[in-house]
Amino acid sequence: MTENNMNPLSTEMLYPVQNGIGNMVRTLFPESAFIINSLISICSLFLLVSLLPVFLIWLERKVAARFQARLGPMRVGYHGLLQSSADGLKLIFKEILKPEGADTFVFFLAPILPASATFLVMAILPFDHHLQVADPAGGVIYVIGISGLSILGILLAGWASNNKYSLLGAMRSGAQMISFEISLTLVMLLIVMLTGTASLREIVLSQQGTVADWWIFKLPGLGLIAFLMYMVSSTAELNRAPFDISEAESELTGGFATEYSGISFAMFFFAEFVNMFVSAGIAATFFLGGFLAPQIGVAFIDPLFAVIPGFVWFFLKTFFVIFLYMWFRWTFPRLRVDQLMYLEWKMLLPANLLLLMSGGFFMAMGGIL
Amino acid sequence: MKKQACCAYLSKVVMGFISLLRGMGVTIGYFFSPKKIVTQQYPENRESLQMMARFRGHVSMPHNEKGEHFCTACGICEKTCPNGTISVLATKDLSGRKVLGKYIYRFSQCTLCNLCIESCPFGAIVMGKDFEFAVYDREELIFTLNQTQENANG
């Protein structure tokens, strides 16, 4: 093993995010720490990625039910908590059917891509001060690049299915996601411009202070508009209602996932929900102070909030954004394809460029920093 | 002209946002009011089950405490029924007047379309609220709705 000769200082430089467990492993097994730590982080991420969608699907169904004056799943487990595990188990045991004339390799490759994309983005989410698998300097660029993988998965699924509905759904979805990625990237660019860094951890740390220092409130009015634009374009990016034209049950019988069944369908479905978590987590990181505790400037509440560990705040903020996504989904009517493109190219994109310009103006005036 | 178009565009954006916010207000109202939930946990709350006012369970004929009903055996419901569900068997009382003898209702053929109840000129039949009619034999779903000597106590 050539790694045995590595300088101990270089590990410090390799892992800027210091973590109690990681440091303990490094002191106990200095030689094989880089393998053990990677395994630990992969296992914990894997656990998170596999448990989150189960919980999120249950949450979505419960929230949807409450918005529609229903109860939602109530029978399996306490208030239906085990319902989505039961559904997942059913999907695992179902037969996977491949349509005649489908491209076998691409057909089975396609569901893996979105799932692995979410896994990869999850690795750089800053859950806490010292709870982040990796913190690359260009984290934002990494996030944008990886999210392209899920578009690829959907396009391949539609292409390989040998079904006109799948192909139409995939092409619509591809057009939609590529269009809205522009506004999403521009909103991210605004924050990157203001913070002067593309590392997610640094972006969170740039929001230290009171709640008024979070990017959503820091810019006078602009932050709120930027947050709204992020919400709109990320909802479209996630293919969620009101922008779910890729599925479009009533027109396309399920879009790109028409021919998928069993576990390959479950992978698309799971990836969709983990994607929602990742997107909400990035919204929390960019606009809501990530793992930082909300300091509202009241003397006896602030220390109490500061005691609560950062990952709790991260998850609270993330689930708040997830609730917003669900609220949108169960309130708004769906857009037509042309209305969707109108929204992106004629409304969001000019508004985004204007926002970016005014952000630069504020920076030049030095009024906000 | 150009200024007007710009104003129209901006007001479209603002009004769109306001209408979206109004819709979100409606749904969050439902979310935070558990009393509005209409779902019934049926087998558990079987004793206290409250059916909806417009629920159509089966055709029934209400009687007052003396065992009297409003049916005059005119047979309009029988003619209205698209499925031949109802048979009104008229008879004559002691004074020779046409009265209802037996009102036969075959539940297994009924689609609960409500036409008989709407066509009844006297309001003699209504939709009942019972729905637990699972039986092993179709013959058991043929009911006599009016109280006759045979089913007066049953």
Do B31 and A66 lie within an 8 Å CB cutoff? Answer: yes
pLDDT at residue B1 in the model:
59
Do B27 and A330 lie within an 8 Å CB cutoff? Answer: yes
Give every residue of chain A whose pLDDT is below 70, as ranges. 1-19, 246-252, 367-369
> What is the second-level CATH architecture of the domain B58-144?
2-Layer Sandwich (3.30)
* CA-based nearest distance A331→chain B, Å: 6
Give the model confidence (pLDDT) of A52-77 as tens digits. 888 999 999 989 888 888 888 888 88
pLDDT at residue A22 in the model:
72
- Does this model's pTM top 0.90? My answer is no
pLDDT at residue A10 in the model:
47
Domain ranges of chain B: 2-36, 58-144
pLDDT at residue A365 in the model:
78
For chain B, list residues whose CB is within 8 angstroms of any CB belonging to chain A: 13, 20, 23-24, 26-28, 30-31, 34, 36-39, 41
Domain ranges of chain A: 12-365
pLDDT at residue B87 in the model:
92
* CA-based nearest distance A365→chain B, Å: 27
Cross-chain CB nearest to B37 (options A71, A330, A347): A71
Long-range residue pairs from A230-233, CB within 8 A, at least 24 positions apart, any chain? A230/A184, A230/A187, A230/A188, A230/A283, A230/A286, A230/A287, A231/A283, A231/A321, A231/A324, A231/A325, A231/A328, A232/A183, A232/A343, A232/A348, A233/A180, A233/A181, A233/A183, A233/A184, A233/A187, A233/A344, A233/A348
**In chain A, which residues have their Cβ closer than 8 Å to the Cβ of B28?**
327
ipTM of the complex: 0.72
